[in-house]
Amino acid sequence: MWQGRFQERPAESLSKFGQSVSFDWRLYRQDIAGSIAHARGLLRAGILSEEEFAAIEKGLKGIEADISDGKLRFLEELEDVHMNIEAELTRRIGEAGAKLHTARSRNDQVATDVRMYLRMEGGRIVREISELQRVFVGLAKKYHRVLIPGYTHLQRAQPVPVAHHFLAYCEMLERDKERLADALKRIRLCPLGSGAIAGSTIVLDREAIAAELGFDGVSQNSMDAVADRDFVCEFLSVFAILGMHLSRISEDAILWCSAEFGFLRLSDAYTTGSSLMPQKRNPDVAELVRGKSGRLVGNLVSLLVMTKGLPLTYNRDLQEDKEPLFDSLDTVSSCLRIFAEMFATAEIDVAAARAAAADPVLLATDLADYLVQRGVPFRRAHEMVGRMVARAEQLGVRLSDLPAEEIERIAPLAVKGFGEVFDLDRAMRVRTAPGAPSPERIAERIAWWEQRLQGS
């Protein structure tokens, strides 16, 4: 933009440095939809004639089709997607195209476009999260009777159904969907009509324009409307948390694929080999997802740092919101899609899981609970079981094989039901509290998730 006030063209280096069309071209559909709605507002206000509006609408739809077909080349010297589309429109239809920018600014234009774009992309991300959840529910259903050790501090803690583990991922991802849905609520007001900072002396029907574009209403402060990037920060925050969850799932998968755990086998299609060691099957997908989560955190921090020192209202710094946003959208989407593919073909090594879960020390807490049910205070029961565990280690036997005289010496009340405590099936059956992993509770939750995810 150099005509009018400026007597010289901008330096070529400035044009290249300042252009954003190399990445904001993604907004072309939203920009064209917003321009058509704005043109209709100008028509209602008497700024455009019917013929002019018809030419603008037809011209913009033609431009949209050409962009979609790859027939229109964006020019960096026109800076951004908005000026590229407007210049091409004026080239095609003449003077009527030059009237389109009446009563609006690129400031309110881009604020509108990005909200509309996020509305579309946010819905897609929700669907991709749901698809990954369906994969985990399928795994839970397939392996609902398989037990593995659950871990705290990465030490074996208590036995849990592997289904309970997969359904825990569904809970994490559901919160991500809820956060995304909540963020989508705050982009339902349309900034278009706010102008550069203080609206316009040409008053358009903003409510009608907003309704045409699918918004619930209009923004109420023109300064805030063009300066606000809270919503982008919020989406990046949601994506960073989602990435953190995917990274934690990755870590489980990486551990479970190792020979030390051996619970999970990934398809050859989603593992890689080594350039040196022919025996290797590396869980590269999970490692890449774990690594890419750092980009999501970095994109959020980048935008927070960039916006924290900006005065009202619009500053060119805000152009820097789009690359982190687009990168996070692409990263999250690619991670969700490939995870759904990878886990859909994954298998649990049932024998390895069963062998690991059969370690009787995993039921030490159940033994303490057994003593509590016979009147022993929990802290005292905890100490007794700890002594039994230590004694079994000293004797080189499994806890369940501790000699009766040793049990009698440490905890006489445990002698009668000692063997019963180490029955894994019984141990799972009695865990019936809401949220606990009894077979009945697992079945209920699988059914709940299948209903929840139906059609999502």
Average pLDDT of 294-310? 98
Question: In 3D, which of 115, 195, 130, 142 has the Cα closest to residue 169?
Answer: 130
Contact (Cβ atoms closer than 8 angstroms) between residue 401 and residue 392:
yes
Residue 1: the pLDDT is 53
116 vs 238: CA distance, rounded Å = 18
CB atoms within 10 A of CB 67: 21
Q: What are phi and psi of 161, to 5 degrees?
A: -65, 140
What percent of the chain has pLDDT above 90? 93
Tell me the fold of 107-204+220-355: Fumarase C; Chain A, domain 2 (1.20.200)
Catalytic residue among 274, 302, 333, 438: 274
Residue pLDDT, tens place only, 128-173: 999 999 999 999 999 999 999 999 999 999 999 999 999 999 999 9
Q: Which residue has the tokens 């369940």?
A: 400
360 vs 358: CA distance, rounded Å = 6
What spatial distance separates the first Cα and last Cα of the chain, rounded to whole Å? 45
Catalytic residue among 15, 153, 334, 456: 153
Residue pLDDT, tens place only, 336-376: 999 999 999 999 999 999 999 999 999 999 999 999 999 99
Extents of the domains making up the chain = 12-102, 107-204+220-355, 359-452
Cα–Cα distance list, 1 to 22, 32, 47, 199, 210 (Å): 17, 20, 24, 21, 28
DSSP assigned state of 177: H
141 vs 441: CA distance, rounded Å = 12
Residue 274 annotated as catalytic? yes
Residue 275: the pLDDT is 86
Of 2 and 351, more confident: 351
Contact (Cβ atoms closer than 8 angstroms) between residue 263 and residue 334:
no
Output the six-digit token pair for 261. Answer: 């755990």
Percentage helix, strand, coil for the chain under 3-state DSSP, each rounded to 5: 65, 5, 30
Residue 302 annotated as catalytic? no
Specify the CATH superfamily of domain 12-102: Fumarase/aspartase (N-terminal domain) (1.10.275.10)
Average pLDDT of 91-109? 97
Contact (Cβ atoms closer than 8 angstroms) between residue 187 and residue 234:
no
Reported as a pLDDT band with limits 50, 70 and 90, residue 216 is very high
Average pLDDT of 43-60? 98
210 vs 214: CA distance, rounded Å = 6
Q: Which residue has the tokens 């020979």?
A: 259
Residue pLDDT, tens place only, 18-27: 999 999 999 9
Residue 206: the pLDDT is 98
405 vs 293: CA distance, rounded Å = 54
Domain 359-452 has CATH 1.10.599.10: no
